[in-house]
Amino acid sequence: MSAVINRAKQRYIKAIKWEAVIIFFSFFAVIAVQSELNFSFLAGAISSFLPHCVFVYWIFFKSAKVQQKMTAFYWGEGMKWLITIVLIILSFILLPALKVLFFFAGYFVALLLNIVLPVVLERHTT
């Protein structure tokens, strides 16, 4: 494996760990502000975070031996979208007290972290 891919792999693993910590601290902050236990924020964050983890796993660990990297990338993106759609649908069906505003706040916080954390970690490690 090339050094560049190996560094990117390590950076994304570190970013996923940081993102999990930030999501859970944000969840507890939302509970403190909202003053009732509601899993809407956490469900939204997981609906964005879990598919991203599957995508990173697929790209860096599962498809490392695949000759056509772009095909593996498209498969990973397809799985990411499918898992995201399924998780959003399940959240709306299984959480009767779902607060849509908190759900999408959690979703967009995790989505923003998916984008920003690897870039921030790259700048601080180089």
CA distance 86 to 53: 15
Q: In Å, what is the CA distance from 25 to each residue of 12, 44, 102, 104?
A: 20, 14, 15, 17
Under 8 Å between Cβ of 103 and 44: yes
Phi, psi of 4 (to 5 degrees): -65, -45
Predicted pLDDT at 44 = 94
Greater confidence (100 vs 32) lies with 100
Give 59-109 pLDDT, tens digit per residue: 888 766 666 777 888 888 999 999 999 999 999 999 888 889 989 999 999
Single pTM value for the model? 0.86
The structure tokens listed for 109 are 């916080």
**DSSP secondary structure string, 23-90?**
HHHHHHHHHHHH-S---HHHHHHHHHHHHHHHHHHIIIIISTT-S-HHHHHHHHHHHHHHHHHHHHHH
